[in-house]
Structure 1
Amino acid sequence: MARVEANRRDFLRWLATAGAGLAAAGIAPALFAQEAAAAGTDVVVVLGATVVDGTDAPARPNSAVVLIGDRIAWVGPAVELPHCAGARIVDGRGRYLIPGLWDMHAHGIDYEKLWPPMFLANGVTGIREMQGYDENRATRDKIDRGELLGPRVVMGSAIIDGPVSLLGPPITQVANAEEGRAAVRTAVAQRSDFVKVYFYLPKDAYYAIADECRRFGLPFSGHWPYRLRQLDAAKAGQRTFEHLFGLHIATSSRRDEFLALLDAQPFDPNAKRDFFNLARELDRQAAQAYDPATAESHFAALKALDNWVSPTFAVNRVISRPAGTFAHDPRLKYVSQDIIDYWADRLTMFTPVTAEQIAQQDAYFEAQLRLVGEAHRAGLGVLGGTDCLNPYVFPGFSLHDELDYLVQAGLSPRQALQSVTRDAARFLGKASTTGTITPGKVADLVLLDANPLTDIRAVRRIDTVVTAGRVLDRTRLTRMLADVETAAKQPPAGANSRSVRLPVRGCC
């Protein structure tokens, strides 16, 4: 049909009759339109774009997406949409519209002048913050109240580890079941969205944490707890084992041998890294002894328990290369000197030095790519996350790197994109409100200059970002990054201009 002119009231009246998508989302279209009219809510129309909605549906060329405030109100062919006088039109012709991206393993949102704008400028409209503490909870609350422009934040608890730990404050260390339960109650009181568990938890404390999380209906994720078999931890309810820790051992023909070596090794408070270093080396060796039959059984069991793969290739690649490999990354201009200095010091704890070590770590990383491809083909859900704030892992920018690695691992561009949109939302229990371009869901969108379904690198070519209905065009995004570059050159000033927790950061 030909597009007709309509004033704002007529347009909202049309929406009330055309809003089948809103009704499907459980929202009464007429009531939605009435409330929008009463509130004087802005109308934004993304017009003429090819919509890649995050589902398995084909891309829809020459579409229109109507946003009323912070919600998607209508999606359909552009020719069916009446022209609304006074609406803001975002020109989508020749471009591709995708849902806003989620970084599903992030740290450091409390670097308020640096991290939030870097995320948004790269199309990241939501993050899973993997370690909660006072400063980043305060930043989350500012974003929620609209006082700070930034991505949506799903906030983890303080990291919960055993009495021996590789980390220090602000983590919570527990020695027994009672302390584990208390740590979960604290996480609930702090409005944590999930609990984060760590390597060195005693078995009784771990099971108490799992039980208390069930009691409060709180999910928990984190690192592989070394004193448990992966399947036992998954049966207890752990949703992910971050960074692929332990997955190579669990899928190896030498699994029982390696697990026996770990069982016999104590957590030494005087040499805290010894166990971690042994486990990492055994995991590397296990990658060279991958057993398809063992893997098939393990993957099937994890899938049945709704356990997900969270590979964080971005950080794994950095620690697999010599320490100086990324020292001249042009994105360093967006990072303050205190972070750069910390990165340079911290990285030497992980990276290879000799030619033999470099070759071993390159092979290990390639094995990680293959392992994730096998897990994905076995039906395990995959989450795209970066572990930003670790050395040379940059907010927003590195999620684009992660998508590249996921495609190298064997996911199609569509599947890689879904890992940070639709599937991320499903994992978080937010599928009804975010993750796809669907009426009724939040208005978090990214407009691209190229087709991400043919080349995942198109996700880097951002024209416009919409976050909670706020339109950030290319000029605004460029200015945001320029402001980040300026802020990165300034000395820290104020409680939340930098994280006071930086010295305890690691691969977490």
Structure 2
Amino acid sequence: MSKYVHPSTTGGRVRLRDVTVVDPLDGSRTPGQDVIVENGRITSVTATATATGAPAADAHVVEGRGRFVVPGFMDMHLHALNTPEDVDGTYALMLATGVVGFRQMSGNRALLKSRREGTLPRPTGAPALKAVTGDLLTPLNASTAEGAVRAVREQHRDGADFIKAGATTGAVFMAALEEANRLGIPLGGHLPGDLDPREAARGGVRSIEHLGPGVTVFAAASSREAEVRAANTVRKLPPIPQVRFPGADRLVTKLIKGVVVNPATRTSATEARAYELADGSYDQRKAEELAALFVEHTTWQCPTLIRVHTQQFGDSPEHTADPRRRYMAPKELRAWDRSARKFSELPGATRRALHGHWAAQLRMTRTFADAGVPMVAGSDACGAAGVVPGFGLHDEFDHLAEAGLDPLTILRMTTTEPARFLGEEGAFGRIAPGMPADLVLLDRDPLEDHTALHGIAGVMRDGSWWSRADLDAILERVAAEPGAR
């Protein structure tokens, strides 16, 4: 059950009548279609019934004339289960914004055990957990190459779907990557500041998050690469105990949380200089060569532009006065506000360097998209200052469009590309018989303008239907008792 999402009154056998079906895979639109759903699956997609072929009497009918139906959205970088005992508010916002599934980017042995035993909370309308990692690779479990290898083996044994590198050195990262490849488990995440992204790509890294983060990827697209790398530094975490003991995972989470709310608040003058140097020496030819290498090695990117924007403009009213803050738990907002104050105290030159890097990130995202680098959409919500769950993915759509990506590419990044990334092509992300009944009904054509993705007329999750009025009621209940994290 959920205190925010009431059970749908429209379930069982449902007919979405007279809709235009949008297929993200080939970019086609097929108007005048009836989508029939039963037991959480699409059973048929056929031309709208005429007078001689009326809808079955036992089917709930959702009238969709003039509207467009697309697969439900996937957020491929999320931390909803950082607080598995308190996900109701976050999941409610995800349903209200059409987010039907996600990749959990932080985990631990207890979370993997709960997933394995089927004891993770599933409030009404909960999204599908598509993949989850184990403990983030940090100096606690990966201070040496040997420690990293051991951590990879443990997470593989515990059933993690992938390994996420968070704070490592280049040598430790590559040792973990080699072992992950040997075991057949994907490794992705943050590239260390002392690692060439080309080496990581050739080594088989599965995904790079946040365009690096930092300046690491951008150094490879600089005409003064050696100087940028020399100026770049490996970000240090707060002191982390090197010895395992009961409760160590919780302690590390607490130590790191203050940093991950907005890592940009710890930007040093040296790092700011590296940003300026990289951005001022950008070489489009080198950027295209890097993109071609990522294509060759199928090195996925999850840009999370909304995340980097909230970091680099950490005290902007766009984020600090966002009206959607009303959905967030008060404790979460207090952490956000502390972070904003800390960001405002950075030297002016540092803040200018962070602001200036935004244009470079948009340009790099466009370069990758034009080259055909595989990419998925993610928000990094649940812990990141200024990123509201569910809505953050829609902000990501807007920033991808700002970078110059076309509407079809954006739609694919949240539907068919997640399926391909997870090795589940044909299992979700399209509207066809046998597919999960996870659908979003839109008022406008999403292939004409990406902003149509915001105009949600209703959401179907696992065969249950919530209308626009239902979704608005969910949002009001969350606002009345803010609980998203």
Counterpart of 1:180 in structure 2 is 148
- Of the three residues 140, 161, 172, the one matched with 2:137 is 161
After superposition, give the CA deviation of every residue in 1:372-414 in whole Å (9 maximum; x if it has no partner): 1011111112221111121110111111111011111111111
Normalised to the residue count of structure 1, the TM-score between the two structures is: 0.79
How many angstroms apart in 2 are the aligned matches of 1:476 and 1:138? 34
Would the aligned equivalents of 1:121 and 1:481 in 2 still touch at CA under 8 Å? yes
How many angstroms apart in 1 are the aligned matches of 2:341 and 2:191? 23
After superposition, give the CA deviation of every residue in 1:391-439 in whole Å (9 maximum; x if it has no partner): 1101111111110111111111111111111112111212221111122
After superposition, give the CA deviation of every residue in 1:456-489 in whole Å (9 maximum; x if it has no partner): 1121111111112121222322222222223317
- Of the three residues 389, 399, 402, the one matched with 2:396 is 402
Counterpart of 2:294 in structure 1 is 302
Counterpart of 2:59 in structure 1 is 87
What one-letter code is carried by the residue in structure 2 that aligns with 1:235? R
Counterpart of 2:478 in structure 1 is 484
Would the aligned equivalents of 1:422 and 1:435 in 2 still touch at CA under 8 Å? yes
Q: Point out where structure 2 has 5 or more consecutive residues left out of the alignment.
A: 1-10, 241-258
How many angstroms apart in 2 are the aligned matches of 1:70 and 1:341? 40
What one-letter code is carried by the residue in structure 2 that aligns with 1:412? D
Counterpart of 1:120 in structure 2 is 95
Distance 1:269 1:133, change over 3 A: closer
Counterpart of 1:327 in structure 2 is 320
1:71 is displaced (CA, Å) by: 1.5
How many angstroms apart in 1 are the aligned matches of 2:203 and 2:59? 51
Distance 1:145 1:336, change over 3 A: closer
What one-letter code is carried by the residue in structure 2 that aligns with 1:103? D
Would the aligned equivalents of 2:72 and 2:440 in 1 still touch at CA under 8 Å? yes
Counterpart of 2:304 in structure 1 is 312
How many angstroms apart in 2 are the aligned matches of 1:473 and 1:217? 42
Would the aligned equivalents of 1:320 and 1:352 in 2 still touch at CA under 8 Å? no
Q: Does 1:391 align with 2:363?
A: no
Distance 1:280 1:214, change over 3 A: farther
1:331 is displaced (CA, Å) by: 0.6
Counterpart of 1:43 in structure 2 is 13
| Greater mean alpha carbon deviation, residues 94-103 or residues 172-181 | 172-181
1:365 is displaced (CA, Å) by: 0.8
Counterpart of 2:245 in structure 1 is none
How many angstroms apart in 1 are the aligned matches of 2:385 and 2:192? 24
Counterpart of 1:453 in structure 2 is 447
What one-letter code is carried by the residue in structure 2 that aligns with 1:296? E
Counterpart of 2:168 in structure 1 is 200
Q: Does 1:129 align with 2:104?
A: yes
Q: Point out where structure 1 has 5 or more consecutive residues left out of the alignment.
A: 1-40, 164-171, 490-497, 500-508
Counterpart of 1:100 in structure 2 is 72
Distance 1:318 1:52, change over 3 A: same
- Of the three residues 430, 433, 437, the one matched with 1:439 is 433
Paired residue total: 441
Distance 1:464 1:139, change over 3 A: farther
Would the aligned equivalents of 1:132 and 1:155 in 2 still touch at CA under 8 Å? no
Would the aligned equivalents of 1:162 and 1:202 in 2 still touch at CA under 8 Å? no
Q: Does 1:463 align with 2:430?
A: no
What one-letter code is carried by the residue in structure 2 that aligns with 1:70? G
Please say which structure displays the higher CA radius of gyration.
1
Normalised to the residue count of structure 2, the TM-score between the two structures is: 0.83
Counterpart of 2:420 in structure 1 is 426
Would the aligned equivalents of 1:184 and 1:195 in 2 still touch at CA under 8 Å? yes
Would the aligned equivalents of 1:53 and 1:438 in 2 still touch at CA under 8 Å? no
1:190-269 map, 5 Å: 190-201=158-169, 203=171, 205-245=172-212, 246-262=216-232
Would the aligned equivalents of 2:34 and 2:46 in 1 still touch at CA under 8 Å? yes
How many angstroms apart in 2 are the aligned matches of 1:152 and 1:321? 32
How many angstroms apart in 2 are the aligned matches of 1:378 and 1:103? 23
Would the aligned equivalents of 1:137 and 1:155 in 2 still touch at CA under 8 Å? no
How many angstroms apart in 2 are the aligned matches of 1:447 and 1:219? 34
How many angstroms apart in 2 are the aligned matches of 1:143 and 1:440? 27
After superposition, give the CA deviation of every residue in 1:263-294 in whole Å (9 maximum; x if it has no partner): 8x796977999996444641343122110221
Distance 1:403 1:269, change over 3 A: closer
Q: Does 1:59 align with 2:51?
A: no
SS at match of 1:453: coil
1:56 is displaced (CA, Å) by: 2.1
How many angstroms apart in 2 are the aligned matches of 1:229 and 1:159? 24
How many angstroms apart in 1 are the aligned matches of 2:204 and 2:130? 19
After superposition, give the CA deviation of every residue in 1:310-359 in whole Å (9 maximum; x if it has no partner): 21111211222251522221111100110001111234455685665554
After superposition, give the CA deviation of every residue in 1:68-102 in whole Å (9 maximum; x if it has no partner): 21212222321476521201111111111011001
How many angstroms apart in 1 are the aligned matches of 2:463 and 2:280? 48
